[in-house]
Chain A
């Protein structure tokens, strides 16, 4: 690591800069998903017939994926705990497990989408399916981004460097998880 500017090491607001920044990242992400889901909810209320389309989503698969993501978040917490103890090796191992959770999530999603698309429920079928694929797709992109960053963080954590990053990526991962907690009932449970 090159020398950081002194600016980065100051914390006049009483919170370390990286943690402060990730909260602002999440604030801006909340508005992105807020706009998307707000639009979806308004449409859903206006179009009663969407309940029929929503009936085709597989609640069991959605629930399984919810369970997978929540479990991966548990690993993120365990990684943070290990990092707090200064145990970078264990933290890295838990981060790999979190990434694995993301991978399982994406694999299940891929099978689910393949089966839906092969039954004619494509993104252009109607506006419900457009929202379904757009919202879940943007969420999946966030999962992928989180996994990539997590692999980088695990690399440095393994060498006991920059252990504070474990917490930062954990906060982000929890956020991605929470977005899914909103998507699951909106797209799968509400029939």
Chain B
């Protein structure tokens, strides 16, 4: 090294403490501050969630009341229907779960929790958001081009997705691939930032086992993402060439192989589940320890199970392809690995339940969300075991049972986990307390309808209702009166749930404007972010960055008077 990295001086922060005045655009439009970039990701993600929810409303209305003139959308045509389900899935995973759980919480929490003043590459961080925003604009713009948005389902299986006459969409399909590819690039850039920041920029004294769980989880998730997304990026380029240049990578008539896409897609697609799961699990660990005033039971166990899950997640992808004509002997192998992966996840759940055991639990809003995460994810996990068994999957494949199963995993992850984190760190982000009663009302009006949406869909799926069907009236055996009743129950519950989100937005705006001041540490938590001001200024700790002396979850420690022991307090 020609230029050695300068040693950190006690007064080294002086020029980074925000002493110079920043213009509006420097501060809010093109910020370098990790907290502002986190907010950009957070609110873009929430905006996209509203759009994704609206799409769900439009196609659920069509399913419950076929042919109805849906208020706010109009009559849903078959091409509309395809575009809506495709975009709902793509948006909720790539433009809601990823930006909120990984990018927003990662950006906000990693530097604050490890006691650093910013991410290691602030400008790469800003670039990452800008690319992400561009990708979001492209996916939304695809609704307004000739032929409408992509209608080949979020898995984009060829030949459906490569031929306009099948997917009923023209340029929209290419825009979809472009948007997804740009989103991947944004998260590769972001992930490199998260990983190097957490590896290199920890506060003096913060050892491996002193890192809060949510930071660990976001880092592991970023590594998983980085190691799984490459083949799909290559596959995306290949598919784009198939659509636009006329190559035949995935066209069996001309020497290509459509199953290849399924391999490339699911080699990424399955680890992706854990990419979004792990940050949610980390958030729940932090929330749960604070609100049960107990040390996390088995810190290292959670960590090892997360790493084990990550490694195993690369070996399970073909369980999505049991009916795609893969070798039955291979199906056996993938059944075994799929069932194996439930072991570390179950271990993790037990650790969380053990953390609750004997704790002094307070049911504040974040804690309710954290507990709901455990409960609802358990349903998602257990139904996964049904589907992982190849024999059973041949019947269940592509039914609403599958759909209900993965909504019971993704909904707890992307919605419940996010609400747990958002309500928990809201006082830090905005310096104000949220209204707990409104928060609880919102919680119950979200959780109960959620179960009423997807429990009926399990029943319908087990009865043989296939996915991606525009109008069940065309299938007499699938449009029995009781089935239509359950569809309407699910749709009405969805409307109630979407309406309940107004309470959340009202609560956020009201608390932000006129909530009681939160102070530095309203939850009496021991991790480092709670030692900064709320909201933390540029540079996080202008008075000097903290030093770490102990683990993150020292609650109710026998040697300490108070029931929490901040990480930065000298022994």
Contact = CB atoms under 8 A, between A and B. Distances in A.
Interface centre among B3, B6, B7 (most CB of A within 10 A): B3
Contact of A5 (B119, B202, B206, B231): B119
Contacts of A64: none
B5 interface: yes
Contact of B247 (A16, A130, A166): A130
A134 B239 CA distance: 11
Interface string A114-148: 00000000011011001100100010000000000
A34 B324 CA distance: 23
B247 A39 contact: no
Nearest to B261: A39
Given A36-B231, A134-B238, A21 B196 contact: yes
Given A5-B117, A83-B2, A84-B2, A20 B200 contact: yes
Contacts of A42: 260
Given A31-B228, A35-B230, A35-B233, A13 B199 contact: yes
A17 B249 contact: no
B1 interface: yes
Contacts of B241: 123, 130, 134
Contact of B116 (A6, A16, A30, A43): A6
A24 B192 contact: yes
B49 to A, nearest CB: 27
A177 interface: no
A167 B3 CA distance: 11
B188 A17 contact: no
Contact of A164 (B1, B188, B248, B539): B1
A32 B3 contact: no
B282 interface: no
B118 A24 contact: no
Given A16-B1, A84-B1, A127 B254 contact: yes
A163 B2 CA distance: 6
A31 B120 contact: no
Contacts of B15: 3
Interface in A1-47: 3, 5-13, 15-17, 20-21, 24-25, 27-36, 38-39, 42-43, 46-47
Nearest to B205: A12
Interface in B541-559: 545
Contact of B226 (A28, A85, A130, A167): A28
Given A7-B117, A7-B120, A12 B202 contact: yes
Contacts of B545: 6
B116 A5 contact: yes
B227 interface: yes
A55 B232 CA distance: 29
A162 interface: yes
B328 interface: no
Nearest to A84: B2
Contacts of A20: 196, 199-200
B88 to A, nearest CB: 27
B438 interface: no
Nearest to B188: A28
Contact of A34 (B16, B116, B230): B230
B247 A21 contact: no
B259 to A, nearest CB: 10
B237 interface: yes
Nearest to A35: B231
B396 interface: no
B5 A16 contact: yes
Contacts of A8: 118, 120-121, 201
A170 B27 CA distance: 35
Given A35-B234, A130-B247, A13 B200 contact: yes
Contacts of A21: 120-121, 192-193, 196
Given A21-B196, A84-B1, A127-B254, A28 B229 contact: yes
A20 B201 CA distance: 12
Interface residues of B, number: 58
A39 B2 contact: no
A68 B564 CA distance: 63
B3 A163 contact: yes
Contacts of B200: 7, 10-13, 15, 17, 20
Given A9-B8, A10-B116, A162-B3, A124 B226 contact: no
Contacts of B249: 39, 127, 130-131
B5 A31 contact: no
Nearest to A126: B255
B118 A7 contact: yes
A6 B16 contact: yes
B466 interface: no
Nearest to A38: B231
A146 to B, nearest CB: 17
A31 B201 contact: no
Nearest to B255: A127
Contacts of A138: 234, 237
B233 A32 contact: yes
Nearest to B189: A25
A17 B196 contact: yes
B471 interface: no
Given A24-B192, A36-B234, A126-B255, A164 B3 contact: yes
Interface string B223-266: 00011111111110110010001111100001111001000100
Contact of B230 (A33, A126, A134): A33
Nearest to A43: B257
B8 A126 contact: no
Interface string B35-63: 00000000000000000000000000000
Contacts of B161: none
Given A5-B116, A12-B202, A24-B192, 15 more contacts: A7-B116, A8-B201, A17-B196, A20-B200, A21-B120, A24-B191, A24-B226, A28-B191, A35-B233, A39-B235, A127-B248, A130-B238, A134-B241, A134-B247, A167-B1
27 contacts: A5-B122, A5-B539, A6-B13, A7-B201, A12-B199, A15-B200, A17-B5, A17-B200, A20-B196, A20-B200, A21-B192, A21-B193, A24-B196, A28-B227, A28-B229, A30-B230, A31-B227, A32-B230, A35-B267, A39-B264, A46-B257, A124-B248, A126-B248, A126-B254, A130-B238, A130-B249, A164-B5
Closest 8 CB pairs of A and B: A35-B231, A31-B230, A32-B230, A163-B2, A5-B118, A36-B234, A7-B116, A7-B201
